[in-house]
Amino acid sequence: DAGITQSPRHKVTETGTPVTLRCHQTENHRYMYWYRQDPGHGLRLIHYSYGVKDTDKGEVSDGYSVSRSKTEDFLLTLESATSSQTSVYFCAISEQGSGANVLTFGAGSRLTVL
Amino acid sequence: EDQVTQSPEALRLQEGESSSLNCSYTVSGLRGLFWYRQDPGKGPEFLFTLYSAGEEKEKERLKATLTKKESFLHITAPKPEDSATYLCAVHTNAGKSTFGDGTTLTVKP
């Protein structure tokens, strides 16, 4: 997957527990994104980062936080997981700035909140 | 608010039966329209970028076209390995991408 690794790939957790998903890239791309994909909703942007310690909210950011302390790592945290956060989460990277925001995606992390 | 609508939701074709997928959009300040392919259990994979009305891009059996309000992904003589979900996305001057829900294509031998 073009130098993007997501972990864990699968996780089952209980309501109210904290969860952290990790995205690691070896492409040295400036931009990193977290999306969630749900049936009937397509891919929706949660948060994105345009540099180390520079992050911003997407359209569905409530209940999620992110951190980027190194260029290669972008963490997504659910402070207190809820059943509505059961989804497949995709990390993506891009070299935005060329005028074409082509996204390269990871393989996804499937999260089930019971 | 930017909107992207893909149709049909699902399409079943016989091998060799050509067809088209549609992506209609309402955005302010289109910077580019993207097509991605997604196989089950995997992340989307980039296919094409289109920037302006009238532009066309081709790759093997796929051809993408763009007008001011919609894009088509034409599939000529499809094969079973073309079965996948095809996603359309628009990138705007605001700097973010909005995705459609996708069209799931099944090609039967």
Shortest Cα distance from A99 to chain B (angstroms)? 7
Shortest Cα distance from A93 to chain B (angstroms)? 12
pLDDT of residue B79: 97
Q: What is the rounded distance in angstroms from the CA atom of residue B38 to the CA atom of residue B26?
A: 23
pLDDT of residue A41: 80
Which two tokens mark A43? 């891919």
A-B contacts (CB, under 8 Å): 55
Spatial CA neighbour of B86 closest among B57, B67, B106: B106
| pLDDT in single tens digits along all 114 residues of chain A | 569 999 999 999 999 999 999 999 999 999 999 999 998 788 999 999 999 999 999 989 999 999 999 999 999 999 999 999 999 999 999 987 445 678 999 999 999 999
| pLDDT in single tens digits along all 109 residues of chain B | 889 999 999 999 999 999 999 999 998 888 899 999 999 999 999 999 999 999 999 999 999 999 999 999 999 999 999 999 999 999 887 777 889 999 999 999 9
pLDDT of residue B95: 73
pLDDT in tens, A85-101: 999 999 999 987 445 67
pLDDT of residue A95: 81
Give whole-number Cα distances, B104 to A78, B41, B54, B83, B100, in Å: 30, 14, 26, 8, 12
| Chain A interface mutation, best of B47, B87, B93, B99, highest count of A Cβ atoms under 10 Å | B99
**Main-chain phi, psi angles of A99, to 5 degrees:** 95, -10
Mean confidence (pLDDT) of chain A: 92
Instruction: State whether B43 and A42 contact (CB < 8 Å).
Output: no
Shortest CB distance from A102 goes to which of B34, B42, B100? B34
Shortest Cα distance from B91 to chain A (angstroms)? 7
pLDDT of residue B70: 97
Instruction: State whether B97 and A99 contact (CB < 8 Å).
Output: no
Which two tokens mark A28? 């040295």
3-state secondary structure of B2: coil
Contact residues, chain B, for A106 at CB < 8 Å = 43
Q: Are B69 and B25 in contact (CB under 8 A)?
A: yes
- Tell me the three-class secondary structure of chain A, residue by residue: CCCEEEECCEEEECCCCCEEEEEEECCCCCEEEEEEEECCCEEEEEEEEEECCEEEECCCCCCEEEEEEECCEEEEEECCCCHHHCEEEEEEEECCCCCCCCCEECCCEEEEEC
Residue in chain A closest to B6 (alpha carbons) equals: A42
pLDDT of residue A100: 64
Give whole-number Cα distances, A67 to A10, A49, A83, B1, B109, in Å: 21, 8, 23, 28, 47
Contact residues, chain A, for B94 at CB < 8 Å = none
